Amino acid sequence: MAHTHSHSHHHHHDLKGRNLLISILLNITITIAQVIGGIVSGSLALLSDALHNFSDVLSLIISYAATRFTKKQASVKRTFGYKRAEIMAAFVNSATLMVVAVILIKEAIERFYQPQMIESNIVIWLAALGIVANGISVLLVKKDADHNMNMKSAYLHLLTDMLASVAVLVGGLLMKFYQLYWIDPLLTIAIGLYLIYMGYDLLKASTKVLMLFTPEAIKVEEIVSVLGTIPPIKNIHHVHIWQLNEQEIHLEAHVDFHENISLQEFDKVLDEIEEKAYHSFGINHVNIQPEYGKCDSDQIIVQD
């Protein structure tokens, strides 16, 4: 038996999807413009910014698809529905962010040994375009990024690209007025390192959810101690706690009772377990297996 403490957010999902769609169109425009501009000007930093923008387009498409999939209902073949779609999107997006970073750094190191003259005016104007377009996209998704891992991954892609465009703009100005062409590969390396820094935490967080790790904020021993204070309970063991998505944390456990209580009495205990689990630890899905006099391991964690 389990109680859920969730609420409907249909309008919020629709707004989130619309904002992502606008951001996708903006980033497609930037990518095309910067690829052409990077080839014409010979700027690796501009091409790297274009590559990053292209990864933005892919990540935003994945994020948009994920928000659509999460609306699909559960079925006999998909009993959880597509609730993990957004976590999968966050994982893919953060992983691609780091792969792009490694490619950029490799290309920049090679460019150090073969510096090229660059048409700085094109770099300056297209970097400015990137700042404006990505700035708009950042504002569109920022609100949802605070409480949604998928939207946070999209937000990070857009924010880092806006900052990269700022760096490319500064580099373009330095190349135009001081002919410092080595700035171009240096900026590319800086952008790449920043991508790795921004992507790592999100990759780690999404991986932990996909691997069914216990959420970091939750201490299993503390939960067992708190729930164990309920009078009829003798022992709580065989505990599993995992995060399905960013709204749902599940608790599964075996509960051994002092006496062979009735089903009606068990329902009262279960209500108390659910209330304590939710209000003290934010766990909103509880599945309890009651036991009495059963020869079972009393260890909190049991390897299945």
Domains and CATH numbers, the chain: 10-210 (1.20.1510.10), 220-291 (3.30.70.1350)
Closest among 197, 153, 157 to 31, alpha carbons compared: 157
Given a contact cutoff of 8 angstroms between Cβ atoms, the answer to whether 162 and 56 are in contact is no
Residue 183 in tokens: 């700035």
- HSE-CB for 105 with a 13 A CA cutoff: 13
Give CA angle at 142 (92, 170), nearest 5°: 85
Q: Which of 141, 132, 172 is nearest to 63 (CA)?
A: 141
Chain centroid to CA 65: how far? 14
Total number of residues shown for the chain: 304
Rounded to an integer, what distance in angstroms lies between the CA atom of residue 210 and that of residue 208? 6
State the Cα–Cα distance between residues 95 and 88, nearest whole angstrom: 11
Q: What is the pLDDT of residues 146-191, one digit of tens each?
A: 777 777 877 887 887 788 888 889 888 988 898 888 888 888 888 7
Q: How many CA atoms lie within 13 A of 122 on its CB side?
A: 18
- According to the model, what pLDDT value does residue 7 have? 41
User: Average pLDDT for residues 21-33, to the nearest whole number?
Assistant: 88
**Can you give the pLDDT at residue 3?**
47
Residue with tokens 């892609």: 157
pLDDT at 283: 95
Position 243 confidence tier, pLDDT thresholds 50, 70, 90: very high
Average pLDDT, the chain: 84
pTM of the model: 0.74
Give the residue from 106, 115, 150, 93 showing the smallest Cα distance to 43: 115
Residue 20: HSE in the Cβ half-sphere, 13 Å Cα cutoff: 28
DSSP letter at 213 equals P
Region of residue 293 (phi > 0: left; psi between -120 and 50: alpha; otherwise: beta): left
